Amino acid sequence: MSGDPSALLGRLSLNQETVRQWSLPELADGCARAGVRGVGLWRAPVQEYGVRAAARLVRDAGLRVTSLCRGGFLTATDPGERAAALEDNRAAVDEAAALGTDTLVLVSGGLPAGSRDLAGARERIADALGELGPYAAERGVRLALEPLHPMYAADRCVVSTLAQALDLAERFPAAQVGVVVDTYHLWWDDTVGAQIARAGGAGGTPSRIAAFQLADWVTPLPAGALLGRGQLGDGSVDLRWFRRRVEAAGYRGPIEVEIFQPALWARDGAEVLAEIVDRFRTHVG
Amino acid sequence: MSGDPSALLGRLSLNQETVRQWSLPELADGCARAGVRGVGLWRAPVQEYGVRAAARLVRDAGLRVTSLCRGGFLTATDPGERAAALEDNRAAVDEAAALGTDTLVLVSGGLPAGSRDLAGARERIADALGELGPYAAERGVRLALEPLHPMYAADRCVVSTLAQALDLAERFPAAQVGVVVDTYHLWWDDTVGAQIARAGGAGGTPSRIAAFQLADWVTPLPAGALLGRGQLGDGSVDLRWFRRRVEAAGYRGPIEVEIFQPALWARDGAEVLAEIVDRFRTHVG
Protein backbone atom coordinates (compact mmCIF):
# COMPACT_ATOMS: atom_id res chain seq x y z
CA MET A 1 0.00 0.00 0.00
CA SER A 2 2.86 2.35 0.77
CA GLY A 3 3.91 2.15 -2.87
CA ASP A 4 0.60 3.57 -4.12
CA PRO A 5 0.34 7.32 -3.49
CA SER A 6 -3.42 7.50 -4.08
CA ALA A 7 -4.03 4.69 -1.59
CA LEU A 8 -1.91 6.53 0.96
CA LEU A 9 -3.87 9.73 0.40
CA GLY A 10 -7.03 7.74 1.10
CA ARG A 11 -5.69 7.20 4.62
CA LEU A 12 -5.19 10.90 5.33
CA SER A 13 -7.40 12.22 8.10
CA LEU A 14 -7.69 15.83 9.19
CA ASN A 15 -7.87 16.48 12.89
CA GLN A 16 -10.43 19.18 13.50
CA GLU A 17 -8.17 21.23 15.75
CA THR A 18 -5.78 21.76 12.83
CA VAL A 19 -8.43 23.98 11.17
CA ARG A 20 -10.29 25.25 14.18
CA GLN A 21 -11.37 28.28 12.16
CA TRP A 22 -13.82 25.92 10.48
CA SER A 23 -17.24 25.08 11.90
CA LEU A 24 -18.21 21.43 11.79
CA PRO A 25 -20.25 21.89 8.57
CA GLU A 26 -17.32 23.74 7.01
CA LEU A 27 -15.02 20.92 8.07
CA ALA A 28 -17.26 18.25 6.60
CA ASP A 29 -17.71 20.18 3.38
CA GLY A 30 -14.05 21.18 3.11
CA CYS A 31 -12.78 17.65 3.59
CA ALA A 32 -15.25 16.23 1.09
CA ARG A 33 -14.21 18.83 -1.50
CA ALA A 34 -10.52 18.13 -0.92
CA GLY A 35 -11.00 14.38 -1.21
CA VAL A 36 -9.98 13.82 2.40
CA ARG A 37 -12.02 10.93 3.76
CA GLY A 38 -11.29 10.99 7.46
CA VAL A 39 -11.66 13.48 10.28
CA GLY A 40 -10.51 13.45 13.88
CA LEU A 41 -13.02 15.27 16.06
CA TRP A 42 -12.89 17.00 19.44
CA ARG A 43 -15.53 16.70 22.11
CA ALA A 44 -16.24 20.37 22.76
CA PRO A 45 -17.20 21.41 19.22
CA VAL A 46 -19.07 18.13 18.72
CA GLN A 47 -21.07 18.68 21.92
CA GLU A 48 -21.81 22.23 20.89
CA TYR A 49 -23.14 21.08 17.54
CA GLY A 50 -24.89 18.08 19.04
CA VAL A 51 -23.37 14.61 19.00
CA ARG A 52 -26.06 12.97 16.88
CA ALA A 53 -26.22 15.89 14.47
CA ALA A 54 -22.43 15.81 14.12
CA ALA A 55 -22.48 12.08 13.46
CA ARG A 56 -25.09 12.58 10.74
CA LEU A 57 -23.22 15.52 9.24
CA VAL A 58 -19.92 13.70 8.78
CA ARG A 59 -21.64 10.50 7.62
CA ASP A 60 -23.64 12.39 5.01
CA ALA A 61 -20.41 13.98 3.79
CA GLY A 62 -18.97 10.50 3.27
CA LEU A 63 -16.42 10.95 6.02
CA ARG A 64 -15.12 8.50 8.57
CA VAL A 65 -14.42 9.71 12.12
CA THR A 66 -10.95 8.33 12.76
CA SER A 67 -10.71 9.38 16.40
CA LEU A 68 -12.32 11.44 19.11
CA CYS A 69 -10.19 13.71 21.29
CA ARG A 70 -10.19 13.35 24.19
CA GLY A 71 -10.76 11.49 27.35
CA GLY A 72 -8.21 11.08 30.10
CA PHE A 73 -7.12 13.33 32.98
CA LEU A 74 -7.22 10.33 35.23
CA THR A 75 -4.61 11.26 37.83
CA ALA A 76 -6.67 13.06 40.49
CA THR A 77 -6.29 11.80 44.05
CA ASP A 78 -9.45 13.46 45.35
CA PRO A 79 -12.24 10.84 45.29
CA GLY A 80 -14.84 13.29 44.03
CA GLU A 81 -12.61 14.53 41.22
CA ARG A 82 -11.72 10.97 40.36
CA ALA A 83 -15.34 9.85 40.15
CA ALA A 84 -16.14 12.87 37.99
CA ALA A 85 -13.23 12.06 35.66
CA LEU A 86 -14.37 8.47 35.27
CA GLU A 87 -17.93 9.60 34.58
CA ASP A 88 -16.69 12.09 32.02
CA ASN A 89 -14.64 9.39 30.33
CA ARG A 90 -17.65 7.11 30.09
CA ALA A 91 -19.51 9.99 28.42
CA ALA A 92 -16.58 10.39 26.02
CA VAL A 93 -16.82 6.69 25.16
CA ASP A 94 -20.53 7.09 24.46
CA GLU A 95 -19.84 10.06 22.22
CA ALA A 96 -17.14 8.14 20.34
CA ALA A 97 -19.56 5.27 19.78
CA ALA A 98 -22.27 7.65 18.60
CA LEU A 99 -19.83 9.20 16.13
CA GLY A 100 -18.94 5.76 14.80
CA THR A 101 -15.29 5.87 15.72
CA ASP A 102 -13.51 3.03 17.47
CA THR A 103 -10.79 5.27 18.90
CA LEU A 104 -11.01 7.54 21.94
CA VAL A 105 -7.72 9.35 22.49
CA LEU A 106 -6.72 9.69 26.15
CA VAL A 107 -4.49 12.42 27.48
CA SER A 108 -3.77 10.77 30.78
CA GLY A 109 -3.31 13.78 33.04
CA GLY A 110 -0.43 15.44 34.88
CA LEU A 111 0.52 15.66 38.53
CA PRO A 112 -2.13 16.82 40.99
CA ALA A 113 -1.33 20.23 42.50
CA GLY A 114 1.60 19.98 44.88
CA SER A 115 2.37 16.36 44.04
CA ARG A 116 5.74 15.06 42.89
CA ASP A 117 4.69 11.43 42.70
CA LEU A 118 4.96 10.44 39.04
CA ALA A 119 4.82 6.72 39.79
CA GLY A 120 1.65 7.14 41.84
CA ALA A 121 -0.02 9.16 39.10
CA ARG A 122 0.82 6.47 36.58
CA GLU A 123 -0.72 3.80 38.80
CA ARG A 124 -3.93 5.80 39.08
CA ILE A 125 -4.09 5.83 35.30
CA ALA A 126 -3.76 2.06 35.27
CA ASP A 127 -6.57 1.76 37.82
CA ALA A 128 -8.78 3.97 35.69
CA LEU A 129 -8.03 1.99 32.54
CA GLY A 130 -9.11 -1.12 34.40
CA GLU A 131 -12.44 0.51 35.15
CA LEU A 132 -13.00 2.13 31.76
CA GLY A 133 -11.59 -0.52 29.41
CA PRO A 134 -14.49 -3.00 29.57
CA TYR A 135 -17.05 -0.18 29.32
CA ALA A 136 -15.33 1.09 26.17
CA ALA A 137 -14.83 -2.30 24.52
CA GLU A 138 -18.49 -3.21 25.06
CA ARG A 139 -19.32 -0.16 22.93
CA GLY A 140 -16.78 -0.95 20.23
CA VAL A 141 -14.40 1.78 21.38
CA ARG A 142 -10.74 1.37 22.22
CA LEU A 143 -9.01 3.67 24.72
CA ALA A 144 -5.99 5.09 22.91
CA LEU A 145 -3.34 6.14 25.42
CA GLU A 146 -1.31 8.98 23.99
CA PRO A 147 2.21 9.48 25.28
CA LEU A 148 2.78 13.22 25.29
CA HIS A 149 6.11 14.98 24.95
CA PRO A 150 7.99 15.05 28.28
CA MET A 151 7.56 18.82 28.42
CA TYR A 152 3.91 18.15 29.31
CA ALA A 153 4.64 15.65 32.08
CA ALA A 154 3.77 17.98 34.95
CA ASP A 155 0.57 19.55 33.74
CA ARG A 156 -0.94 17.32 31.06
CA CYS A 157 0.33 13.80 30.83
CA VAL A 158 2.69 11.77 33.01
CA VAL A 159 2.94 9.18 30.22
CA SER A 160 5.86 10.53 28.24
CA THR A 161 7.20 7.74 26.06
CA LEU A 162 5.78 5.03 23.86
CA ALA A 163 7.45 2.46 26.13
CA GLN A 164 5.53 3.81 29.13
CA ALA A 165 2.26 3.86 27.21
CA LEU A 166 2.80 0.25 26.16
CA ASP A 167 3.75 -0.79 29.69
CA LEU A 168 0.35 0.53 30.75
CA ALA A 169 -1.65 -0.69 27.76
CA GLU A 170 -0.28 -4.23 27.89
CA ARG A 171 -1.83 -4.77 31.30
CA PHE A 172 -5.21 -4.82 29.53
CA PRO A 173 -6.72 -6.61 26.54
CA ALA A 174 -5.74 -5.08 23.20
CA ALA A 175 -9.40 -4.54 22.35
CA GLN A 176 -9.68 -2.25 25.39
CA VAL A 177 -6.47 -0.23 25.43
CA GLY A 178 -4.20 0.83 22.59
CA VAL A 179 -1.67 3.61 22.07
CA VAL A 180 -1.28 6.66 19.87
CA VAL A 181 1.90 7.18 17.87
CA ASP A 182 2.20 10.95 17.42
CA THR A 183 5.34 12.16 15.72
CA TYR A 184 5.34 15.49 17.56
CA HIS A 185 5.56 13.82 20.94
CA LEU A 186 7.90 10.96 20.11
CA TRP A 187 10.32 12.10 17.41
CA TRP A 188 13.28 12.75 19.74
CA ASP A 189 13.31 9.26 21.33
CA ASP A 190 16.01 6.89 20.09
CA THR A 191 13.98 3.90 21.30
CA VAL A 192 10.82 4.81 19.40
CA GLY A 193 11.54 2.56 16.42
CA ALA A 194 11.85 -0.48 18.65
CA GLN A 195 8.77 0.56 20.61
CA ILE A 196 6.70 0.98 17.43
CA ALA A 197 7.65 -2.59 16.50
CA ARG A 198 6.60 -3.70 19.98
CA ALA A 199 3.33 -1.78 19.63
CA GLY A 200 2.64 -3.49 16.33
CA GLY A 201 2.79 -6.88 17.99
CA ALA A 202 6.35 -7.93 17.15
CA GLY A 203 6.10 -10.82 19.58
CA GLY A 204 2.97 -12.19 17.92
CA THR A 205 0.68 -10.21 20.23
CA PRO A 206 -2.22 -8.12 18.87
CA SER A 207 -1.33 -4.65 17.64
CA ARG A 208 -1.72 -1.80 20.09
CA ILE A 209 -1.42 0.98 17.52
CA ALA A 210 -4.80 2.67 17.71
CA ALA A 211 -3.87 5.89 15.94
CA PHE A 212 -1.02 7.47 14.02
CA GLN A 213 -0.82 11.26 14.14
CA LEU A 214 1.46 13.71 12.40
CA ALA A 215 2.84 17.11 13.24
CA ASP A 216 6.30 18.53 12.77
CA TRP A 217 8.61 19.89 15.48
CA VAL A 218 9.56 23.54 15.06
CA THR A 219 11.39 25.98 17.29
CA PRO A 220 11.34 28.28 19.13
CA LEU A 221 8.54 26.99 21.33
CA PRO A 222 5.85 29.55 22.14
CA ALA A 223 5.00 30.44 25.74
CA GLY A 224 3.10 27.55 27.26
CA ALA A 225 4.58 25.19 24.66
CA LEU A 226 1.14 24.10 23.52
CA LEU A 227 0.49 25.85 20.23
CA GLY A 228 3.84 25.53 18.50
CA ARG A 229 3.37 22.46 16.33
CA GLY A 230 4.75 22.69 12.84
CA GLN A 231 3.21 22.15 9.44
CA LEU A 232 4.42 18.89 7.86
CA GLY A 233 7.88 19.39 6.41
CA ASP A 234 8.65 22.60 8.28
CA GLY A 235 10.61 21.01 11.10
CA SER A 236 12.90 18.34 12.44
CA VAL A 237 10.75 15.23 12.19
CA ASP A 238 11.45 12.54 9.61
CA LEU A 239 7.76 11.88 8.95
CA ARG A 240 8.37 9.31 6.23
CA TRP A 241 10.57 7.29 8.59
CA PHE A 242 7.69 7.19 11.08
CA ARG A 243 5.20 6.11 8.41
CA ARG A 244 7.50 3.32 7.30
CA ARG A 245 7.99 2.16 10.87
CA VAL A 246 4.29 1.98 11.70
CA GLU A 247 3.65 0.22 8.40
CA ALA A 248 6.48 -2.24 9.07
CA ALA A 249 4.69 -2.85 12.38
CA GLY A 250 1.56 -3.77 10.41
CA TYR A 251 -0.41 -0.55 10.78
CA ARG A 252 -2.56 0.34 7.78
CA GLY A 253 -5.07 2.64 9.46
CA PRO A 254 -5.74 6.35 9.18
CA ILE A 255 -2.92 8.89 9.25
CA GLU A 256 -4.23 11.89 11.10
CA VAL A 257 -2.71 15.34 10.78
CA GLU A 258 -3.04 17.23 14.06
CA ILE A 259 -1.30 20.59 14.17
CA PHE A 260 -2.03 23.23 16.82
CA GLN A 261 -0.76 26.47 15.35
CA PRO A 262 -2.34 29.92 15.43
CA ALA A 263 -0.71 30.84 12.10
CA LEU A 264 -2.68 28.06 10.41
CA TRP A 265 -5.88 29.09 12.19
CA ALA A 266 -5.52 32.63 10.83
CA ARG A 267 -5.63 31.42 7.22
CA ASP A 268 -8.39 30.22 4.95
CA GLY A 269 -9.24 26.65 5.97
CA ALA A 270 -9.39 25.30 2.42
CA GLU A 271 -5.99 26.78 1.67
CA VAL A 272 -4.55 25.18 4.82
CA LEU A 273 -6.03 21.81 3.92
CA ALA A 274 -4.68 22.03 0.36
CA GLU A 275 -1.26 22.77 1.79
CA ILE A 276 -1.53 19.81 4.16
CA VAL A 277 -2.44 17.48 1.30
CA ASP A 278 0.52 18.79 -0.66
CA ARG A 279 2.91 18.44 2.27
CA PHE A 280 1.54 14.99 3.01
CA ARG A 281 2.36 13.85 -0.53
CA THR A 282 5.86 15.32 -0.35
CA HIS A 283 6.93 14.41 3.18
CA VAL A 284 4.92 11.32 4.08
CA GLY A 285 4.14 9.52 0.80
CA MET B 1 27.16 11.46 54.72
CA SER B 2 23.53 11.93 53.69
CA GLY B 3 22.51 11.78 57.32
CA ASP B 4 24.63 14.80 58.24
CA PRO B 5 23.02 18.07 57.14
CA SER B 6 26.13 20.17 57.61
CA ALA B 7 28.19 17.75 55.50
CA LEU B 8 25.55 17.90 52.80
CA LEU B 9 25.63 21.70 52.82
CA GLY B 10 29.37 21.48 52.30
CA ARG B 11 28.64 19.86 48.96
CA LEU B 12 26.38 22.66 47.75
CA SER B 13 27.74 24.50 44.73
CA LEU B 14 26.22 27.57 43.13
CA ASN B 15 26.19 27.70 39.38
CA GLN B 16 27.08 31.21 38.31
CA GLU B 17 24.18 31.52 35.88
CA THR B 18 21.73 31.19 38.76
CA VAL B 19 22.85 34.62 39.99
CA ARG B 20 23.94 36.21 36.76
CA GLN B 21 23.26 39.64 38.30
CA TRP B 22 26.50 39.08 40.20
CA SER B 23 29.93 39.88 38.78
CA LEU B 24 32.60 37.26 39.38
CA PRO B 25 34.00 39.14 42.42
CA GLU B 26 30.48 39.48 43.81
CA LEU B 27 29.95 35.76 43.23
CA ALA B 28 33.18 34.81 45.00
CA ASP B 29 32.46 37.13 47.88
CA GLY B 30 28.78 36.20 48.14
CA CYS B 31 29.48 32.48 48.22
CA ALA B 32 32.24 32.86 50.80
CA ARG B 33 29.93 34.93 53.02
CA ALA B 34 27.12 32.38 52.69
CA GLY B 35 29.40 29.47 53.49
CA VAL B 36 28.93 27.97 50.05
CA ARG B 37 32.19 26.32 49.05
CA GLY B 38 31.69 25.51 45.39
CA VAL B 39 30.86 27.42 42.24
CA GLY B 40 30.03 26.31 38.72
CA LEU B 41 31.37 28.81 36.21
CA TRP B 42 30.53 29.75 32.63
CA ARG B 43 33.06 30.43 29.96
CA ALA B 44 31.86 33.84 28.75
CA PRO B 45 32.03 35.72 32.09
CA VAL B 46 35.27 33.92 32.96
CA GLN B 47 36.85 34.93 29.66
CA GLU B 48 35.67 38.48 30.13
CA TYR B 49 37.27 38.65 33.57
CA GLY B 50 40.32 36.76 32.41
CA VAL B 51 40.77 33.04 33.01
CA ARG B 52 43.82 33.30 35.25
CA ALA B 53 42.41 36.18 37.22
CA ALA B 54 39.16 34.28 37.71
CA ALA B 55 41.05 31.20 38.89
CA ARG B 56 42.96 33.32 41.42
CA LEU B 57 39.80 35.11 42.55
CA VAL B 58 37.86 31.97 43.40
CA ARG B 59 40.89 30.26 44.90
CA ASP B 60 41.56 33.24 47.15
CA ALA B 61 37.92 33.13 48.26
CA GLY B 62 38.39 29.51 49.31
CA LEU B 63 36.08 28.23 46.61
CA ARG B 64 36.28 25.14 44.51
CA VAL B 65 35.22 25.32 40.86
CA THR B 66 32.93 22.32 40.54
CA SER B 67 32.35 22.58 36.79
CA LEU B 68 32.82 24.76 33.77
CA CYS B 69 29.91 25.30 31.36
CA ARG B 70 30.24 24.61 28.57
CA GLY B 71 31.78 22.85 25.66
CA GLY B 72 29.89 20.85 23.10
CA PHE B 73 27.93 21.80 19.99
CA LEU B 74 29.59 18.98 18.17
CA THR B 75 26.99 18.10 15.56
CA ALA B 76 27.95 20.29 12.59
CA THR B 77 28.39 18.51 9.27
CA ASP B 78 30.33 21.33 7.62
CA PRO B 79 34.07 20.51 7.95
CA GLY B 80 35.03 24.08 8.75
CA GLU B 81 32.38 24.41 11.44
CA ARG B 82 33.34 21.06 12.83
CA ALA B 83 37.03 21.94 13.05
CA ALA B 84 36.15 25.23 14.73
CA ALA B 85 33.95 23.41 17.26
CA LEU B 86 36.72 20.97 18.13
CA GLU B 87 39.20 23.81 18.50
CA ASP B 88 36.78 25.69 20.74
CA ASN B 89 36.29 22.60 22.88
CA ARG B 90 40.04 22.20 23.32
CA ALA B 91 40.13 25.81 24.48
CA ALA B 92 37.32 25.03 26.93
CA VAL B 93 39.33 22.11 28.29
CA ASP B 94 42.32 24.42 28.78
CA GLU B 95 40.13 26.91 30.61
CA ALA B 96 38.69 24.19 32.84
CA ALA B 97 42.21 23.04 33.71
CA ALA B 98 43.29 26.60 34.44
CA LEU B 99 40.31 27.04 36.76
CA GLY B 100 41.23 23.86 38.58
CA THR B 101 38.04 21.98 37.81
CA ASP B 102 37.99 18.42 36.55
CA THR B 103 34.58 18.76 34.91
CA LEU B 104 33.76 20.38 31.57
CA VAL B 105 30.03 20.20 30.91
CA LEU B 106 29.15 19.47 27.28
CA VAL B 107 25.89 20.48 25.65
CA SER B 108 26.23 18.25 22.64
CA GLY B 109 24.40 20.28 20.00
CA GLY B 110 21.16 20.01 18.05
CA LEU B 111 20.36 19.18 14.45
CA PRO B 112 22.17 21.16 11.76
CA ALA B 113 19.82 23.46 9.81
CA GLY B 114 17.51 21.43 7.58
CA SER B 115 18.63 18.08 8.97
CA ARG B 116 16.30 15.44 10.40
CA ASP B 117 19.03 12.90 11.07
CA LEU B 118 19.16 12.44 14.84
CA ALA B 119 21.17 9.23 14.63
CA GLY B 120 23.78 10.88 12.42
CA ALA B 121 24.11 13.83 14.77
CA ARG B 122 24.63 11.47 17.68
CA GLU B 123 27.38 9.64 15.82
CA ARG B 124 29.17 12.92 15.11
CA ILE B 125 29.15 13.57 18.85
CA ALA B 126 30.75 10.19 19.43
CA ASP B 127 33.42 10.97 16.84
CA ALA B 128 34.15 14.28 18.54
CA LEU B 129 34.37 12.65 21.97
CA GLY B 130 36.95 10.27 20.52
CA GLU B 131 39.03 13.25 19.44
CA LEU B 132 38.57 15.37 22.55
CA GLY B 133 38.59 12.75 25.28
CA PRO B 134 42.34 12.06 25.37
CA TYR B 135 43.13 15.78 25.12
CA ALA B 136 40.91 16.45 28.13
CA ALA B 137 42.09 13.53 30.25
CA GLU B 138 45.73 14.53 29.71
CA ARG B 139 44.85 17.83 31.35
CA GLY B 140 42.93 16.26 34.23
CA VAL B 141 39.55 17.24 32.81
CA ARG B 142 36.63 14.94 32.17
CA LEU B 143 34.08 15.68 29.45
CA ALA B 144 30.69 15.63 31.15
CA LEU B 145 27.97 14.84 28.62
CA GLU B 146 24.75 16.44 29.71
CA PRO B 147 21.50 14.94 28.49
CA LEU B 148 19.13 17.85 27.99
CA HIS B 149 15.36 17.73 28.19
CA PRO B 150 13.83 16.37 24.97
CA MET B 151 12.30 19.78 24.27
CA TYR B 152 15.83 20.91 23.34
CA ALA B 153 16.56 18.01 20.97
CA ALA B 154 16.24 20.05 17.77
CA ASP B 155 18.18 23.15 18.64
CA ARG B 156 20.50 22.39 21.55
CA CYS B 157 21.17 18.77 22.32
CA VAL B 158 20.24 15.56 20.55
CA VAL B 159 21.21 13.62 23.67
CA SER B 160 17.92 13.59 25.55
CA THR B 161 18.08 10.84 28.15
CA LEU B 162 20.59 9.55 30.65
CA ALA B 163 20.51 6.21 28.83
CA GLN B 164 21.61 7.89 25.61
CA ALA B 165 24.34 9.84 27.37
CA LEU B 166 25.64 6.64 28.93
CA ASP B 167 25.47 4.78 25.63
CA LEU B 168 27.79 7.45 24.27
CA ALA B 169 30.02 7.84 27.32
CA GLU B 170 30.60 4.13 27.74
CA ARG B 171 32.36 3.95 24.39
CA PHE B 172 35.24 5.84 26.01
CA PRO B 173 37.34 5.50 29.17
CA ALA B 174 35.59 6.77 32.30
CA ALA B 175 38.45 9.20 32.92
CA GLN B 176 37.67 10.86 29.59
CA VAL B 177 33.88 10.97 29.37
CA GLY B 178 31.26 11.14 32.12
CA VAL B 179 27.66 12.31 32.35
CA VAL B 180 25.71 15.03 34.10
CA VAL B 181 22.63 14.16 36.13
CA ASP B 182 20.46 17.29 36.07
CA THR B 183 17.05 16.99 37.68
CA TYR B 184 15.46 19.59 35.40
CA HIS B 185 16.25 17.57 32.30
CA LEU B 186 15.64 14.07 33.61
CA TRP B 187 12.87 14.21 36.20
CA TRP B 188 10.06 12.97 33.90
CA ASP B 189 11.86 9.75 32.84
CA ASP B 190 10.65 6.56 34.50
CA THR B 191 13.94 4.85 33.65
CA VAL B 192 16.15 7.47 35.28
CA GLY B 193 16.55 5.60 38.57
CA ALA B 194 17.89 2.54 36.80
CA GLN B 195 20.11 4.70 34.61
CA ILE B 196 21.56 6.53 37.62
CA ALA B 197 22.49 3.14 39.07
CA ARG B 198 24.09 2.24 35.75
CA ALA B 199 25.95 5.56 35.70
CA GLY B 200 27.28 4.90 39.17
CA GLY B 201 28.89 1.70 38.00
CA ALA B 202 26.30 -0.85 39.10
CA GLY B 203 28.05 -3.52 37.04
CA GLY B 204 31.37 -2.92 38.77
CA THR B 205 32.48 -0.40 36.16
CA PRO B 206 33.89 3.02 37.13
CA SER B 207 31.33 5.72 37.90
CA ARG B 208 30.33 8.00 35.05
CA ILE B 209 28.58 10.59 37.23
CA ALA B 210 30.67 13.70 36.67
CA ALA B 211 28.18 16.23 38.00
CA PHE B 212 24.85 16.42 39.78
CA GLN B 213 22.78 19.54 39.15
CA LEU B 214 19.51 20.72 40.60
CA ALA B 215 16.64 22.83 39.34
CA ASP B 216 12.92 22.37 39.73
CA TRP B 217 10.37 22.00 36.94
CA VAL B 218 7.70 24.69 36.88
CA THR B 219 4.99 25.54 34.39
CA PRO B 220 3.93 27.27 32.25
CA LEU B 221 7.09 27.28 30.15
CA PRO B 222 8.16 30.69 28.89
CA ALA B 223 8.58 31.38 25.17
CA GLY B 224 11.74 29.64 23.98
CA ALA B 225 11.53 27.24 26.95
CA LEU B 226 15.02 28.21 28.11
CA LEU B 227 14.56 30.49 31.10
CA GLY B 228 11.77 28.76 32.97
CA ARG B 229 13.62 26.71 35.55
CA GLY B 230 12.18 26.69 39.02
CA GLN B 231 13.65 27.48 42.41
CA LEU B 232 14.17 24.32 44.47
CA GLY B 233 10.88 23.21 45.95
CA ASP B 234 8.66 25.30 43.69
CA GLY B 235 7.89 22.58 41.19
CA SER B 236 7.31 18.94 40.33
CA VAL B 237 10.71 17.41 40.94
CA ASP B 238 11.35 15.13 43.89
CA LEU B 239 14.84 16.51 44.50
CA ARG B 240 15.50 14.37 47.56
CA TRP B 241 14.69 11.24 45.59
CA PHE B 242 17.34 12.23 43.06
CA ARG B 243 19.93 12.92 45.75
CA ARG B 244 19.29 9.56 47.32
CA ARG B 245 19.59 7.83 43.98
CA VAL B 246 22.91 9.40 43.04
CA GLU B 247 24.22 8.68 46.54
CA ALA B 248 23.04 5.08 46.32
CA ALA B 249 25.00 4.99 43.08
CA GLY B 250 28.09 6.04 45.02
CA TYR B 251 28.22 9.72 44.14
CA ARG B 252 29.51 11.99 46.91
CA GLY B 253 30.60 14.97 44.82
CA PRO B 254 29.29 18.52 44.56
CA ILE B 255 25.59 19.25 44.24
CA GLU B 256 25.27 22.21 41.94
CA VAL B 257 22.23 24.44 41.81
CA GLU B 258 21.69 25.75 38.30
CA ILE B 259 18.51 27.74 37.78
CA PHE B 260 17.92 29.98 34.76
CA GLN B 261 15.14 32.31 35.80
CA PRO B 262 14.79 36.05 35.16
CA ALA B 263 12.80 36.49 38.37
CA LEU B 264 15.82 35.35 40.37
CA TRP B 265 18.14 37.58 38.37
CA ALA B 266 15.99 40.60 39.21
CA ARG B 267 16.56 40.15 42.95
CA ASP B 268 19.46 40.82 45.27
CA GLY B 269 22.01 38.06 44.73
CA ALA B 270 22.69 37.46 48.41
CA GLU B 271 18.97 37.14 49.08
CA VAL B 272 18.65 34.62 46.26
CA LEU B 273 21.58 32.60 47.56
CA ALA B 274 20.17 32.61 51.10
CA GLU B 275 16.89 31.32 49.70
CA ILE B 276 18.71 28.60 47.78
CA VAL B 277 20.55 27.47 50.90
CA ASP B 278 17.25 27.37 52.76
CA ARG B 279 15.49 25.46 50.01
CA PHE B 280 18.44 23.11 49.70
CA ARG B 281 18.14 22.22 53.40
CA THR B 282 14.39 21.69 53.13
CA HIS B 283 14.07 19.88 49.83
CA VAL B 284 17.39 18.14 49.30
CA GLY B 285 18.81 17.43 52.73
pLDDT digits (tens, 9 = 90+) for B176-191: 999 999 999 999 999 9
Q: CB A221 to CB B122 under 8 A?
A: no
**Searching chain B, which residue's CA lies closest to the CA of residue A116?**
B236
**According to the model, what pLDDT value does residue B6 have?**
74
**According to the model, what pLDDT value does residue B1 have?**
41
Cα B101 versus chain centre, distance: 12
**According to the model, what pLDDT value does residue A6 have?**
74
Sorted by where each starts, the structural domains of chain A and their CATH numbers stand as: 5-283 (3.20.20.150)
**According to the model, what pLDDT value does residue B40 have?**
98
Across chain B, the runs of DSSP E, i.e. the strands, are: 12-15, 38-42, 64-72, 103-107, 142-145, 177-182, 209-214, 216-217, 229-230, 255-257
CA pair distance B116, A184, nearest whole angstrom: 13
Nearest CA-CA distance, residue A197 and chain B, Å: 18
Percentage of residues in chain B having pLDDT higher than 70: 98
Banded pLDDT at B58 (limits 50, 70, 90) = very high
Count contacts between A and B (CB, < 8 Å).
Answer: 95
In three-state secondary structure terms, B217 is: strand
Set of chain B residues whose Cβ sits within 8 Å of the Cβ of A190: 118-119, 122, 160-161, 164
**Searching chain A, which residue's CA lies closest to the CA of residue B119?**
A190
Q: Which of residues 149-208 of B touch A (CB under 8 A)?
A: 149-151, 153-155, 158, 160-161, 164, 187-190
**According to the model, what pLDDT value does residue B202 have?**
82
In this model, does residue A103 exceed pLDDT 70? yes
CA pair distance A166, A178, nearest whole angstrom: 8
Residue B70, CA distances (Å) to B37, B43, B170, B221, B264 in order: 21, 7, 20, 23, 22
* Closest-CA residue to B186 (of B171, B174, B177, B196): B196
CA pair distance B5, B245, nearest whole angstrom: 17
Across chain A, the runs of DSSP E, i.e. the strands, are: 12-15, 38-42, 64-72, 103-107, 142-145, 177-182, 209-214, 216-217, 229-230, 255-257
Set of chain A residues whose Cβ sits within 8 Å of the Cβ of B158: 188
Q: CB A150 to CB B153 under 8 A?
A: no
With an 8 Å Cβ cutoff, is A114 touching chain B?
Answer: no
Q: Which of residues 40-59 of B touch A (CB under 8 A)?
A: none
ipTM for the predicted complex = 0.96
How do residues B89-146 score in pLDDT, each as one tens digit?
999 999 999 999 999 999 999 999 999 999 999 999 999 999 999 999 999 999 999 9
Nearest CA-CA distance, residue B230 and chain A, Å: 13
Q: CB B150 to CB A153 under 8 A?
A: no
